Amino acid sequence: MIKPHGSDKLNPLYVADAAKRDKLIQEAKSLPSILISSAAAGNAVMLGGGYFNPLTGYMNVADSMSVAKDMRTTSGLFWPTPVLNMVEDASAVKGAKRIALKDPNIAGNPVIAIQDVQAIETFTDEQMKTITKAVYGTDDMEHVGVKTFNTVGRTVISGPIQVLNYSYFDKEFADTFRTAVQIREEMGKLGWEKVVAFQTRNPMHLAHEELCRMAYIDEKADGILIHMLLGKLKKGDIPADVRDACIRKMVEVYFEPNTVLVTGYGFDMLYAGPREAVLHAIFRQNSGCTHLIVGRDHAGVGDYYGPFDAQTVFDNISKKDLLIDIYRADHTAYSKKLNKVVMMNRVQNHTKEDFVLLSGTKVREMLGKGIKPPKEFSRPEVAEILIKYYESTVE
């Protein structure tokens, strides 16, 4: 398995020792506390699980600006996006050296982590604009990621954290949520050394399934990690539990046993296109994967990014900075001429009409009416689950 990013071994920030954790939970009751954003809670979960290795906590303004401009922290660590605890008002913890961070995503707001406060700073308008443009490629407030980043506050609480739990993820998605540590352990038990990872925030259609199979064969891999985002998405995206059911059914019916691990991670989608693709690569390197599949408009939204910007961003990233290899995929679709799913740039003598191409809008419309998409587009077992979901959303 591949080495973690930035260190020889993972540094998960979850306090695994039960006695130490109980002691910290008791300590948290006497500490000044603050309710953090969903994004900051997701960052805590990722820090806790080792996905953000080798970071030890939330970044300060200087590191955030350095990451935005150069994809490096001030110490020189390669990193693509700021990892922040941003709040509207930090007066409740002003002057405190150690604080409790309260989870906004669970009723009663239990403490998710304890933070040692190194600094409390505030981004200027210019700094917010610089980070927004660098990370998201736009400052358009219609972009869901831009809007989220610019509406949680701009006061930055930096410093190392100790993570006490994984929010709601390990409870609501007990069969699927895994830390980077756990994924490495599971792949180790299976004897996997070369592993291709597939990132998804959607149910997988036939083209996605075949893309995983292509990468698996092309790279002569030992296994496939299907790694789904379990956190908050934009309006209209399929909920995580439905996605989970779809993917598990597809793997159960159509993949050989012990060739695929279906897992998920607790993080809110950024929709940051190229920068988020690089972050996804770090997640998977920390999970032990050797390859990440990056397809068309990876981590994108709307028309904010070019179809292959999330691939070309890796052109100037050296192996010194990132060990994981990128499996670059073109648009994948069913060829009527060849009677199979192909990568469109690999076949000759094809026109657009030779492929089965359906827009997301068209597919949602069909499913909403109880119509299964053609078998060349979606597995019938997956379509059944999605039709039931759409039926349940009709009032």
Does residue 136 sit within a domain? yes
Catalytic residue among 11, 98, 109, 202: 202
Does residue 2 sit within a domain? no
pLDDT over threshold 90, residue 15: yes
**In 10 A of CB 25, how many CB atoms?**
16
pLDDT over threshold 90, residue 58: yes
Residues 161 and 183 grouped into a single domain = no
pLDDT for the residue numbered 364: 82
Estimate to the nearest angstrom the gap between the alpha carbon of 122 and the chain centroid.
Answer: 27
What are the phi and psi torsion angles at 100 (to 5°)? -100, 135
User: pLDDT tens, 301-354?
Assistant: 989 999 999 999 999 999 999 999 999 999 888 999 999 999 988 999 999 899
Does residue 187 sit within a domain? yes
Catalytic residue among 201, 248, 296, 364: 201
Residues 279 and 384 grouped into a single domain = yes
How many whole angstroms separate alpha carbon 79 and alpha carbon 52?
10
Count Cβ atoms within 10 A of the Cβ of residue 143 and give its class: 0-12 exposed, 13-18 middle, 19 or more buried: buried
pLDDT over threshold 80, residue 128: yes
Segment holding 122, helix H or strand E: strand 119-122
First to last CA, the chain: 49
Residue of higher predicted confidence among 384 and 359: 384
- Is the full-model pTM beyond 0.75? yes
Catalytic annotation on 109?
no
**In 10 A of CB 245, how many CB atoms?**
17
**Residue whose structure tokens are 């906590």:** 57
pLDDT for the residue numbered 1: 87
How many whole angstroms separate alpha carbon 163 and alpha carbon 342?
44
pLDDT over threshold 90, residue 253: yes
The token pair that represents 250 in the structure block: 């597809």
Residues 143 and 77 grouped into a single domain = yes
CATH at 325: 3.40.50.620
Estimate to the nearest angstrom the gap between the alpha carbon of 208 and the chain centroid.
Answer: 17
Is the Cα torsion angle 346, 352, 353, 355 positive or negative in sign? positive
Average the pLDDT over 85-109 and give the result: 97
Is the Cα torsion angle 235, 127, 64, 58 positive or negative in sign? negative
Count up the domains in the chain and report the number: 2
Q: At what angle do helices 360-368 and 380-393 cross, to 10 degrees?
A: 70
CATH at 54: 3.10.400.10
Domain span at 65: 18-170
Average the pLDDT over 346-368 and give the result: 87
Residues 27 and 131 grouped into a single domain = yes
Catalytic annotation on 85?
no
In the structure, what pLDDT confidence band is assigned to residue 236 with cuts at 50, 70 and 90? confident
Lowest mean pLDDT among 29-43, 238-252, 359-373: 359-373
How many whole angstroms separate alpha carbon 7 and alpha carbon 181?
14
Does residue 1 sit within a domain? no
Nearest to 6 by CA among 85, 72, 82: 72
pLDDT for the residue numbered 395: 56
Residues 186 and 143 grouped into a single domain = no
pLDDT over threshold 80, residue 394: no
